[in-house]
Amino acid sequence: MDSSRVSAGIILCAGLSTRMKDFKPLLPMNGCTLIECTIDSMIRAGINHIVLVVGHRGKDIEQVILHRNYPFVLTAYNPRYADSDMMESLRIGISRAVMWPLESVFVLPGDMPKIHPQTYTALLREMRLHPCKVVIPSYRGMSAHPPLIHAACLDYLRNEFDGGGGLKAALNAFLPETVFLPVDDRGCTLDADYPDDYKHLLNYKE
């Protein structure tokens, strides 16, 4: 692949955090916030072109990001965050990310800070060495996060897919060209949907 093109990340954190009963992105973790840790996990893998899609309390998240002075982390706003799904946020994120010369994008919810940098690099290596449109990490036989999606798929995701079922259903269009890559990284499965999940994240050691 063209070395002048970039692999970017789209992090989705526009929601209301209803199940958590607290605002997930700004929960404390490792001396900062959960969303910072999620961003940092990408940056440690060399993925430093990142679009953060915000909605609820978006200004509060932006203040945190500005304080860190990340060089290539941009925010995009989903004005319908209260009544739209994650696909709407993804479309907004793609529209912002295409300003870069994209090779591929990782898509990740904003509450998954424990993915190991080696997982990101393994997914990139797989896509670069073998012709495929999507690479999805597989942990103990189960699909996990984050999918790595070739730039050639983005127009379909942004403008053509109109069915339900979210990103998983949308990526079914590319199943013949999808690789499920086994990884030894439990962090690919850990999020903070509920208070107990958040406790597990705090106690998890990579």
Report if residue 128 sits inside a domain. Answer: yes
Q: What is the pLDDT of residue 3?
A: 61
Q: Could you tell me the residue range of the domain that residue 60 belongs to?
A: 6-203
73-120: per-residue pLDDT in tens? 999 999 999 888 899 999 999 999 999 999 999 999 999 999 999 999
**CATH code (residue 105):** 3.90.550.10
Percent of the chain at pLDDT exceeding 90: 84
Report if residue 11 sits inside a domain. Answer: yes
Report if residue 52 sits inside a domain. Answer: yes
Report if residue 85 sits inside a domain. Answer: yes
CA 68 from chain centre, in angstroms, equals 19
Report if residue 80 sits inside a domain. Answer: yes
At 101 the three-state DSSP class reads: coil
Query: DSSP secondary-structure letter at 57?
Result: B
Torsion over CA of 28, 30, 36 and 42, rounded to 10 degrees? -150
CA distances from 11 to 26, 88, 93, 156, 196 (A): 14, 13, 8, 19, 22
Report if residue 1 sits inside a domain. Answer: no
Structure tokens at 81: 């965050």
Choice between 19 and 189, residue whose per-residue pLDDT is larger: 189
pTM over 0.75: yes
Total number of domains constituting the chain: 1
34-83: per-residue pLDDT in tens? 999 999 999 999 998 999 999 999 999 999 999 898 989 999 999 999 88
